[in-house]
Amino acid sequence: MKSFLAKRLGLSVLTVGLAAIIVFFMTHVLPGDVARQSLGRQATPEDVAAFNKLYGLDQPILNQLFRWIKELLSGNLGVSMSTSRPVSVTLIPALGYSARLAAVAFVLIVPLSIAGGIIAAMNRGKKIDRAITVGGLSAAVIPEFVWAVVLLLLFGVVFQIFPISAMPDEGAGGFLQSIWHLLLPSIALFLVLFGYIARITRAGVIEALDSDYMRTAVLKGYSRRKAVTNHVLRNAMLPTIAVVASQIPYLIGGLVAVEIVFNYRGFGTVLLTAVGGRDYAVLQSGVILTSVVIVVFQLIADVLFAVLNPRIRQRISE
């Protein structure tokens, strides 16, 4: 188990490292002058030179890369090019907000999608199965921002059930209040992810239902309910864990558009502002943090997968 963990951890670090290099070269090697883009067309050559010196852009490219990675490793995310404040001052609180939205969405998505997949599998071929699989996947291919504006129009403006902003009103704090504000944006994210997770859960449940051990359980006189809860769900959960982990990047990517529509000061809004202001310091660090979050979730899923699957667990301990 220890060597498995070490190996998986090593691969994760390697992935983030490579991602950092790719992100660095995307901002520095793609045609486009960082200083000109940041300062605007009117900047004098002296301004550009001063800017380049300030951000170390006059150094050889590999030195810049090593310096950036060294700073990242020591926890320094750099200085914003548009506000001249540390990147962490804007990025960290924004990440907190996004994490809250993602958590509410996650709590909505995972149980409901698994339930949907199980219901579809138990009613294989029937109308409800078709509705969940075809309906779920059709909803999943419609972009989050389309769902977000449609939900906002219907439930925020026309029926006025939900608040139109994801930020709770100033002063009117409270845990439940903030969750209430996050519900509509979470539904937009839910609609995009439900279909994939439900489909994989459904496939896992069907495979387990058709298996020999299920037939044995039934022949031994287990009730269908007991057989399903004891045998089917446990086996069907494995592919579900893998697919949930694989959807994390889509959830994070979806945050950007949803946060814009619901006027939420999260990570997506900060990132988009940085794109508009050509603030590469914020962009680079923001994108690397995204990669770290995604890789960490992938790692957790892999370990969970191994722990829950006796076959893999045994192979690891050997």
Binding site for other proteins (CB under 8 A): 14-19, 21-23, 26-27, 30-33, 36-37, 134, 137-138, 140-146, 149-150, 152-153, 157-158, 164, 249-250, 252-254, 256-257, 260-261, 271-272, 274-276, 278, 280, 283, 287, 290-291, 294-295, 298
Whose Cβ is closer to other proteins: residue 232's or residue 256's? 256
CB of 251 to other proteins, least distance (A): 9
Instruction: Give the torsion through C-alpha atoms of 75, 80, 84, 90, to 10 deg.
Output: -80
Q: Which single residue is written with the structure tokens 């909505």?
A: 108
Separation in Å, CA 283 to CA 114, 115, 144, 266, 290: 35, 38, 22, 14, 11
Closest residue by Cα to residue 203 from 239, 227, 228, 248: 239
Closest CA to 310 of 227, 230, 199, 234: 234
CB of 233 to other proteins, least distance (A): 26
Identify the DSSP state of 188.
Answer: H
Nearest distance from C-beta of residue 279 to other proteins, angstroms: 8
- Nearest approach in angstroms of CB 184 to other proteins is 13
200/227 with CB nearer other proteins: 200
Q: Which residues contact 242 (CB under 8 A, 6 or more apart)?
A: 200, 301, 305
Smallest gap from residue 295 Cβ to other proteins (A): 5
Q: Which is nearer to other proteins, 31 or 310 (CB)?
A: 31
Least Cβ distance, residue 6 to other proteins (angstroms)? 17
Residue given tokens 């809860």 in the structure block: 229
Helix (H, G, I), strand (E, B) or coil at 86: strand
Query: For residues 101 and 144, which CB has a smaller minimum distance to other proteins in the complex?
Result: 144
**Of 243, 59, 29, nearest in space to 136 by CA:** 243
What is the CA angle 263-260-30, rounded to 5?
145
In this complex, which beta carbon is closest to other proteins, that of residue 232 or of residue 294?
A: 294
Q: Closer CB to other proteins, residue 180 or residue 250?
A: 250
> Do the beta carbons of residue 201 and residue 113 sit within 8 Å?
yes
Q: Which of 162, 170, 131, 160 has the alpha carbon at shortest distance from 265?
A: 170
Residue closer to other proteins by CB (options 231, 239) is 239
Tell me how far, at minimum, the Cβ of 229 lies from other proteins, in Å: 31
> By 3-state DSSP, what share of the chain in percent is helix, strand and coil, each rounded to 5?
80, 0, 20
Nearer to other proteins, 168 or 195 (CB): 195
CB of 73 to other proteins, least distance (A): 17
SS3 assignment, position 223 = coil
